[in-house]
Amino acid sequence: MRKRGLLLCSMLLLIVALAGCGKSNTTNNEETDINKIDTVMGEIEVPKNPERVVVNWYIGYALSLDINVVGYSAWEQESMPFYDKFSHSKKLENWAAEDIMAVEPDLIITYDPEDYEKYNKIAPVLVIPEKGVTSAEKLRLIGTVTGKEAEAEALITTFEKKLAAAKAELQSGKYEGKTFSILEDWGTTGEWSGVAYETGSRGGTLVYDYLALKKPEKLEQLIAKAGEGRGTMSYEVAHEYFGDYILWFQQEGKESEYAKSDIWKSIPAVAEGRVAEIPGDKLGLFFYDDIASLTAQLDYTMNVIKRLWE
């Protein structure tokens, strides 16, 4: 009986020990299912490989990484390189707690620090500032948080190879030292009127930040004085800000009145055929500055340049 009792006690101790090990392993697995990420809002905890993501401005980063976006607050247009992936996600009517909560996200990605306090009780909020962080850095961070590191690196490598080739071509030979302007006619009426210049949107990030192409000196001075990277100029003076080469954006469904004027014909870049017209239905292609968009913009821009200016 004594031996049987000792054997029974030993078996009970073994069961307790195994149960303890099982509990310990479960705890460790639960701990490894969480990423601790340093952000501008401090350290946040996010699930590894989040399955339900909500995003606003950084929609291009998320869709190009094939993240499961269950809700987005952003503009979509057919010329975007990831346009077909919008159909798998729900467009949020408002970027508000009620709409976000309805799609039950396990991660929210945003550019706005105010969203952290507004929505962090719904799900972890990853805030990535628009300024001071390159497109590649943003993509790497989103890739790390969502378990898409390899996909992020592949997109970055493709872009960097194409960028290096384009820079070598545009910063030598007949393009060396030439200036580039990004312009669009907004007509004669409305809150915005005249000829608009861009340095960020409409491909400005690609042209000036990545390709390192130069703006006309007078445009540089205007930007410095205005303190803004975009603005408008009257028809009477706009010709003074045209560079040697022009990316001329069209508005969908509208003809440019400025391009019908006599002054337009007298602009050297126009007279010498150094204006690349970007159709209005391509605005989506040049709207975002994620790596996939920048790559598509680069391909399109280089094709236009080679077709028109060689």
3-state DSSP of the chain:
CHHHHHHHHHHHHHHHHHHHHHHHHHHHHHHHCEEEEEECCEEEEEECCCCCEEECCCHHHHHHCCCCEEEECCCCCCCCCCHHHHHHCEECCCCCHHHHHHCCCCEEEECCCHHHHHHCCCCCEEECCCCCCCHHHHHHHHHHHHCCHHHHHHHHHHHHHHHHHHHHHHCCHHHCCCEEEEEEECCCCCCCCCEEECCCCCCHHHHHHHCCCECCHHHHHHHHHHCCCCEEECCCCHHHHCCCEEEEECCCCCCCCHHHCHHHHHCHHHHCCCEEEECHHHHHHHCCCCHHHHHHHHHHHHHHHHHHHC
Asked whether residue 100 is domain-assigned, the answer is: yes
Query: Do 244 and 302 sit in the same domain of this protein?
Result: yes
The closest of 97, 74, 95 to 85, measured between CA atoms, is 74
pTM over 0.95: no
- For residue 47, give both structure tokens: 């699930």
Number of domains in the chain: 2
- Look up the domain containing 58 and give its range: 34-147
Query: Do 303 and 175 sit in the same domain of this protein?
Result: yes
What's the pLDDT at 32? 58
Query: Do 72 and 129 sit in the same domain of this protein?
Result: yes
Asked whether residue 38 is domain-assigned, the answer is: yes
Query: Do 49 and 137 sit in the same domain of this protein?
Result: yes
Among residues 147, 166, 185, the one where a domain terminates is: 147
What's the pLDDT at 284? 96
Q: Alpha-carbon distance 172 to 167, whole Å?
A: 8
Q: Alpha-carbon distance 245 to 37, whole Å?
A: 44
Query: Do 50 and 140 sit in the same domain of this protein?
Result: yes
Query: Do 163 and 280 sit in the same domain of this protein?
Result: yes
265 Cβ contact list (under 8 Å, min separation 6): 271
- The residue type found at 61 is Y
Query: Do 250 and 116 sit in the same domain of this protein?
Result: no
> In angstroms, what CA-CA distances link 232 with 190, 247, 253?
12, 15, 20
Asked whether residue 201 is domain-assigned, the answer is: yes
Asked whether residue 18 is domain-assigned, the answer is: no
Asked whether residue 177 is domain-assigned, the answer is: yes
Query: Do 189 and 297 sit in the same domain of this protein?
Result: yes
Query: Do 96 and 66 sit in the same domain of this protein?
Result: yes
Asked whether residue 99 is domain-assigned, the answer is: yes
What's the pLDDT at 244? 94
Asked whether residue 69 is domain-assigned, the answer is: yes
Among residues 147, 174, 202, the one where a domain terminates is: 147
Per-residue pLDDT of the chain (310 residues; tens, 9 = 90+): 444 443 333 433 333 333 343 333 333 344 458 999 999 999 999 998 999 999 999 999 999 999 999 999 999 999 999 999 999 999 999 999 999 999 999 999 999 999 999 999 999 999 999 999 999 999 999 999 999 999 999 999 999 999 999 999 888 888 889 999 999 999 988 888 999 999 998 999 999 999 999 999 999 999 999 999 999 999 999 999 999 999 999 998 899 999 999 999 999 999 999 999 999 999 999 999 999 999 999 999 999 988 876 6
- How many other C-beta atoms lie within 10 A of the C-beta of residue 215? 21
Query: Do 305 and 161 sit in the same domain of this protein?
Result: yes
CATH number at residue 194: 3.40.50.1980
Query: Do 165 and 298 sit in the same domain of this protein?
Result: yes
Query: Do 170 and 298 sit in the same domain of this protein?
Result: yes
Asked whether residue 6 is domain-assigned, the answer is: no
- For residue 82, give both structure tokens: 């990831």
Among residues 94, 113, 147, the one where a domain terminates is: 147
